Chains A and B, each alone.
Chain A
Amino acid sequence: MVDWQTVAQSVAGGLLLGGVYALVALGLNLIFGVMKVINFAHGTFMMLGMYASYWLFTLYGIDPYPGILLVAPLFLLLGVLVERVVVSRILDAPGHDQLLVTLGVSLFLQNLALALFKADPRSIRPLYADWSFSVGGVVLSAPRLGAFLAALALAGLFFWLLRSTDLGKAMRAAAEEREGAILVGIDVRWIYALAFGIGTALVAVAGSIVLPFFTVSPSVGETFLLMAFITVVLGGLGSFPGALIGGLLIGLVEGLGALLPGSLRQLPVFILFVLSLLVRPQGLLGSRQ
């Protein structure tokens, strides 16, 4: 029998990681919402973000958190570059062509990482790696709590950007009515590039903040990409609140799954996913096509 404390511990652990899933899904949804492109390379950018933070820490002793200030602009640039060079050319193509192109980008970058860094898993041990807080008997590890809080802060920053800045308004306009946005003088091409760049920066930073407690290897992005896909299908493709709630929900269910015998921790998430497909295919907060 599991006691309530174990359950509470699992719920807390799941929710903390769920915050990171939400951040990853937010970036994916930003790109989809604005450009209607599903970015297969999203997980790859997260993996690269983790490597960037890893090398900053290992070579220069820069902790991943302050390192965000370097990683975010770097990946904003990388995202803009990939959008301008590759993705912008297939915006009018059928959806599966966009998936395939970003898959190609992902294959290239992931295997470039494999060639450069080898398959060896790498991790860092910052000072606070073993710190933890006890709240009512539930132990919260400092790196995970930090990642959760940072993810929420970034999500908040992102919502503020979307609601209150001219760039955010332009992005929402381009997302809802492309022709209209062009008519009122918005340069949609740069909005798209920036949306892709910001989405990429968000997921790279997600990589930075999980690095203190997560091992990086060239294939690590796949797991997070799958979780992000499930999150956006669950929450509704293109829905930002959906990504947030979906991410937390998936983290929660995965956390509870850890209570199962064996290592079936991801199975409840998948069951949730299949059920949501059958019952509510447009997602929790999505609208029907």
Chain B
Amino acid sequence: MKVEVDPRRRPTIIGLLVILAILAAAGPFLASNRYAIQVATLILLFAYLASGWNILSGYGGQFSFGHAAFFGLGAYTSTILFVKFGVSPWVGMLAAGLVSALLGLFIGLACFRSGLRGAYFALATLAFAEILRVIFVNWDWVGRSQGLLIQLVGDEPLLFQFTARLPYYYIALALLALVSGVALLLERLKLGYELRAIKSNEVAAAVLGVDVFRAKMWAMGLSAFFTGIGGTFYAQYFYYIEPFQVFGVGMSVDILLPAIIGGAGTVIGPIIGAAILVLLGEGTRTFFRGFAGADLMVFGVILVLVILFMPYGVMGLLGSAPKAKKESA
């Protein structure tokens, strides 16, 4: 007989395809307004980054507060390769993913081998990102706190530079489609089952045959890989990186927030969360012009309210996450 494994799967696939199709169709309309395409691209970028974070922290429950480490390292890897060695950022993007994944595996080795988890793990990841920030702030070769500028070469698709904004939008959309596809696939793979089990109860997972360390390392590697690639996109989009921005606690928070608000451990949650947060941020900045930080104040309030009253984020409201009692989560 045919068994339906997960009643949420079909709506998720349909929902994702609809969202991606609408975003793809909307591109040319958005492109007519420079501000609109900018905001839309930011939404896609942070949806992508949050989806990458989601693999380790949403599905696997290993909460990273330091994904800026992978993001920043990715941004610097491709930028250094381009600025210092003339390597195309497309190649650099892959290198960025791999270097970040290596860092992820090192951090994973340091934390998971000794069974570090929960709050300890969160603190350790945060500290690793700060360590990288301090290293890059003090490193002459990469411009210390001034960071690195990417020299403009005009419309050069092979060098990841476009004079129009629309190509960036579609690149970000492709990245988002890729990471969402991986998340969907993950939900069907043994690894995806193992991660969600580890999230609830590592010990129970272990006696059911789960190699907990191995599963966490895979999640860490994948998550860091995608985040590093996001760093390259950011560098190419803004043509400028500096350590306080790309390694900062603020970046780590920006990466995890969309997943939390939208619904951690779901495919669509990070996309919805990113849309809400970016639009809200832009709206607040426009409304409270002259009050630096007003948008972050609003984020703070929303974060508190979501955790207190909607523990599964927006997707929880849509019935797409288990309405579990919190103590059994």
Contacts and interface: CB of A to CB of B under 8 A. Distances in A.
Interface string B35-73: 000000000000000000000010001010100000000
B122 interface: yes
A261 to B, nearest CB: 10
B130 A111 contact: no
A92 B327 contact: yes
A89 B311 CA distance: 12
B300 A104 contact: yes
A233 interface: yes
A139 interface: no
B321 interface: no
Interface residues of B, number: 45
Contacts of A86: 304, 308
Contacts of B115: 281, 289
A119 B127 contact: no
A70 interface: no
A104 B303 CA distance: 5
A7 to B, nearest CB: 21
B276 interface: no
Interface string A87-120: 0011011111111110111111111101100110
Contact of A89 (B111, B122, B138, B308): B308
Contacts of A262: 138, 140
A233 B130 CA distance: 15
Contacts of B302: 104
Interface in B133-155: 134-135, 138, 140
Contacts of B57: 96
B33 interface: no
B178 to A, nearest CB: 26
A101 B302 CA distance: 10
A114 B290 CA distance: 11
A264 interface: yes
Contacts of A89: 308
A90 B308 contact: yes
Contacts of B311: 93, 97
A233 B124 contact: yes
A153 interface: no
Contacts of B291: 115
Nearest to A119: B292
A229 interface: yes
A99 B308 contact: no
B144 to A, nearest CB: 9
A111 B294 contact: yes
B123 A106 contact: no
Interface string A240-266: 000000000000000000000011101
Nearest to A237: B120
A267 interface: yes
Contacts of A230: 127
Contacts of A222: 249
B126 interface: yes
Contacts of A105: 300, 304
Interface stretch (A167-175, A208-216, A271-279): A271-279
Given A263-B138, A277-B110, A104 B327 contact: no
A52 interface: no
B119 interface: yes
The residue in A101, A104, A229 that gathers the most chain B C-beta atoms within 10 A of its C-beta is A104
Interface string B304-329: 10011001000000000000001101
A228 to B, nearest CB: 10
Given A38-B123, A93-B311, A111-B293, A101 B138 contact: no
Q: Looking at A89, A96, A109, A226, which has the most chain B CB atoms within 10 Å of its CB?
A: A96
B307 A97 contact: yes
A111 B297 contact: yes
A92 B140 CA distance: 47
A97 B327 CA distance: 12
Given A108-B301, A112-B297, A99 B119 contact: yes
Contact of A281 (B120, B122, B297, B304): B120
B110 A95 contact: no
Given A94-B329, A262-B138, A104 B307 contact: yes
A270 B293 contact: no
Given A38-B123, A222-B249, 18 more contacts: A32-B119, A38-B122, A92-B326, A93-B307, A93-B326, A95-B119, A95-B122, A99-B119, A101-B303, A103-B300, A103-B303, A105-B304, A108-B296, A115-B293, A237-B120, A278-B110, A278-B114, A281-B111
Interface of B: 57, 61, 63, 65, 110-111, 114-116, 118-120, 122-124, 126-128, 130-131, 134-135, 138, 140, 249, 253, 260, 291-294, 296-297, 299-304, 307-308, 311, 326-327, 329
In order of increasing CB-CB distance, the 4 nearest A-B pairs are A107-B300, A111-B293, A108-B300, A104-B303
Interface of A: 32, 38, 86, 89-90, 92-101, 103-112, 114-115, 118-119, 218, 222, 226, 229-230, 232-233, 237, 262-264, 266-267, 270, 273-274, 277-278, 281, 289
23 contacts: A32-B119, A38-B122, A92-B327, A93-B329, A94-B118, A95-B119, A95-B122, A99-B119, A101-B303, A101-B307, A103-B253, A104-B303, A104-B307, A107-B299, A226-B127, A233-B127, A267-B131, A270-B131, A274-B128, A277-B114, A278-B110, A281-B114, A281-B115
